[in-house]
Amino acid sequence: MATALWFAGCSPKPIPPPSAPHPNNAPSGTITWPSWAEDNPLPGVDHASAYGCWDDNIVYVIWADFDTSSGGTSGPTMAGIYSASLTAERGTQVECECKTKDGVSGTLEIRVDRKLISDVPYDLEKGRVFLIRTRGAAPKVTQLSRTVFDSPVENAKEDVKSRLQELAINDIQVKEFLTNGSDGKDSTNRP
């Protein structure tokens, strides 16, 4: 009897499940299509982006107004945290941190040159696309909710790129942002 108790007490403890749900497939990455690579590049935000996915769904896309010299993404962690950064050739850096437990709801914070753009994190349920203008008197972020990002992705990098290019051609608000830029008066612009 003592032997049975000894074995029961020494058996390995089961590994507990993660404290938060975690996606099975969570590609994240950066995309660049520099202005010199296009025959007729659009002015403004037509150069660099970073994204994160939860399973086959896009969680967020940040889209900056510069050709990038470097960038990176990570996540999600077991706590559902993604990080992304894009660095311009001129040195400007855009960073974001996204927190989600399900890939749908959650928040996103954006920093330009380490300065937090908004005191209140962006609500992912209000839009997953963030246009970031770094030129002008002050950085400007426009948060968009667009159905083009509602359908699942098969090849995350190519799907995100083609959907951004579709927005650049067909979306009036995106075209206006691309061509008019920021007047520097607002640090955020939310729908």
Residue-wise pLDDT for 46-81, tens only, equals: 567 888 999 888 999 998 887 776 788 888 888 889
Q: Does a structural domain hold residue 55? A: yes
Q: What is the mean pLDDT of the chain?
A: 77
Cβ neighbours of residue 88 under 8 Å, at least 6 residues apart? 48, 64, 66, 67, 68, 69, 134
At residue 114, the pLDDT reads 93
At residue 180, the pLDDT reads 62
pLDDT exceeds 70 at position 37:
no
pLDDT exceeds 50 at position 151:
yes
Q: Does a structural domain hold residue 136? A: yes
pLDDT exceeds 70 at position 174:
yes
Residue 179: band (very low, low, confident or very high) from pLDDT cuts 50, 70, 90: low
Integer Cα distance of 66 and 90 in angstroms: 9
Q: Does a structural domain hold residue 5? A: no
Integer Cα distance of 25 and 152 in angstroms: 12
Mean pLDDT across 115-130? 94
Q: Does a structural domain hold residue 67? A: yes
Domains: count for the chain: 1
At residue 4, the pLDDT reads 45
Q: Does a structural domain hold residue 15? A: no
Q: Does a structural domain hold residue 49? A: yes
Q: Does a structural domain hold residue 54? A: yes
pLDDT exceeds 60 at position 1:
no
pLDDT exceeds 60 at position 3:
no
Q: Which residue has the higher pLDDT, 178 or 58?
A: 58
Count the Cβ atoms, other than its own, within 10 Å of residue 47: 22
Mean pLDDT across 5-28? 55
| 76 upstream amide cis, omega within 30 of 0 | yes
Q: Does a structural domain hold residue 39? A: yes
Structural domain for 171, as ranges: 20-189
pLDDT exceeds 60 at position 140:
yes
